[in-house]
Amino acid sequence: MDAHAVPSRLAERMSRLGTETAFEAAAAARELEASGRDIIHLEIGEPDFATPANVREAAKAALDAGATHYAPFLGIPELRAAIAEDATARKGFPVDPGRVVVTVGGKGVMVHAILALVGDGEEAIVPDPGFPIYDSLGRFVAGVPVPIPIRQEHDFRLDVDELASLITPRTRLLVINSPANPTGGVLTRSDLERIAELALANDLMVLSDEIYGRILYGEGEHRSIASLPGMAERTVVLDGFSKTYAMTGWRVGYGIVPAPLVEPFGRLLINTVSCVPTFAQFGAVEALQGPQDAVDAMVAEFRVRRDLVVDGLNEIPGIRCHRPSGAFYVFPDVSGTGLTGAEFAARLLAETGVCVLAGTAFGTVGRDHVRISYANSRENLAEALRRIAAFAAAAGR
Ligand X SMILES: Cc1ncc(COP(=O)(O)O)c(C=O)c1O
String marking each residue 253-282 x if it binds ligand X according to CB under 6 A: x-----------------------------
Q: How far is the CB of 22 from ligand X (least distance, A)?
A: 7
Rounded to whole angstroms, the Cα distance separating 355 from 70 reads 40
Q: Does 177 bind ligand X (CB under 6 A)?
A: yes
User: Which of 51, 136, 152, 181 is the binder for ligand X (CB under 6 A)?
Assistant: 181
User: Which of 248, 272, 289, 292 is the binder for ligand X (CB under 6 A)?
Assistant: 248
Angle at 275 between CA 270 and CA 280, to 5 degrees: 175
Q: Does 45 bind ligand X (CB under 6 A)?
A: yes
Q: Residues near 240 by Cβ (< 8 Å), separated by ≥ 6?
A: 103, 105, 106, 109, 211, 252, 253, 254
Helix (H), strand (E) counts: the chain: 12, 12
Q: Which stretch binds ligand X (CB under 6 A): 28-36, 79-87, 103-111, 289-297?
A: 103-111
Q: Does 242 bind ligand X (CB under 6 A)?
A: yes
Q: How far is the CB of 8 from ligand X (least distance, A)?
A: 29
According to DSSP H, which parts of 246-377 are helical? 259-271, 278-289, 293-314, 341-352
Q: Order the strands of the 329-330 sheet from edge to edge.
A: 329-330, 370-373, 357-358
Q: How far is the CB of 141 from ligand X (least distance, A)?
A: 18
Q: How far is the CB of 3 from ligand X (least distance, A)?
A: 40
Site size for ligand X (CB under 6 A): 13
Q: How far is the CB of 130 from ligand X (least distance, A)?
A: 8
Q: Does 213 bind ligand X (CB under 6 A)?
A: no
According to DSSP H, which parts of the chain are helical? 21-34, 53-64, 77-91, 105-117, 132-140, 160-166, 189-201, 259-271, 278-289, 293-314, 341-352, 378-395
Rounded to whole angstroms, the Cα distance separating 393 from 397 reads 7
Q: How far is the CB of 231 from ligand X (least distance, A)?
A: 19
* Cβ proximity of 81 and 97 under 8 Å: yes
Q: Which is nearer to ligand X, 136 or 337 (CB)?
A: 136
Q: Which is nearer to ligand X, 88 or 248 (CB)?
A: 248
In this structure, what DSSP letter does residue 14 have?
Answer: G
Q: Which stretch binds ligand X (CB under 6 A): 61-69, 104-112, 187-195, 331-339?
A: 104-112
Which positions lie near ligand X, rule CB under 6 A? 45, 105-107, 131, 177, 181, 209, 211, 240, 242, 248, 253
